[in-house]
Structure 1
């Protein structure tokens, strides 16, 4: 099977050339354009998520041989979550080679966090099936190198940290409320307010609800730490 020019060039960007190029094509095929003869990447995504988890867990343990499970787990979560996968996908221009249906193309599918993250996981599985775990590990460690090196010592996300802060003071868990949604459907911006009962509150904005909640939690943590 001969790959298109853009997929052939993409192999150089990820540092792996496929012996079974049909695996790469499948990894880049979204369900919006799939057919009976052209399967989508969802099953590969399932496998790639597990391969990524194994490799990142190994990298963290090898990188810090004194860290306890409670320290490693939040670092792991920060490195394998969808946002991290999407960030890596953007760094290699994965969105440019995604195979999408017209509806997804029109609504900005090549920039959507979920689609990029899913396709990145599918790509990992494709490399694993094509050349084995060593090849998949090499690609992951190469593409995730900056993130692994710079992951925070205490990488708990802001929402978790805020909830633990509230619990330690006998307070109810934080509440997150969508207060505004702006922008077109393909590039929305959410404003979310994080509040602690009748106490302090803070806002956060981001292109997804999850990211906006994290931004709001971080802002509220900053506020309460100053009180």
Structure 2
């Protein structure tokens, strides 16, 4: 919450005063969020938590999804994205594979070099990461007649429009049965809207958890997610 409000990050029993790269941690938390050496395996664990959440959401919407290296197609130089969805076409008699690559982006360019620094804010950071992922994977997967989309989330809970589009597609595959007693907004009578809002809330909550993992900086302080299937 302090990160979102721009307040100093409260110290914890796990935090050191200086990063392993030699730079003091800034009070705003941006160095810890930006420096790979500060995060270590928490970057991977946060990424995997979001990946597992996406797999669960897809399966709850009756969409096949897998992150197994045997299922996710590779391309040039054995490069491979994170997961693959099996989507049924509108005709209902064919399926199409959509390959996705997950990324959580902190909207600060570079790590502060002093304890009182605040870093350089980059409003286009989510879009920049989206373009970088596209440049890395899109053409190679297109050559294999596969769809590809980067799935980029901000540490502040902002999802790239293509991420939202995927959630809307998944919501359309849901059977429409909501949990008993669930409140429905008057403005949205289509069950697909309700499912979409639930999916979006789940993803943003998971991204927030991954953000907290970076700030704490200790993988052992949180329970790791189950291994992706």
Bigger fraction of residues in strand: 2
Structure with the higher fraction of residues in helix conformation:
1
Give the TM-score normalised by structure 2: 0.28
Which one has more relative contact order, counting CA pairs under 8 Å at least 6 apart? 2
Structure-1-length-normalised TM-score:
0.28
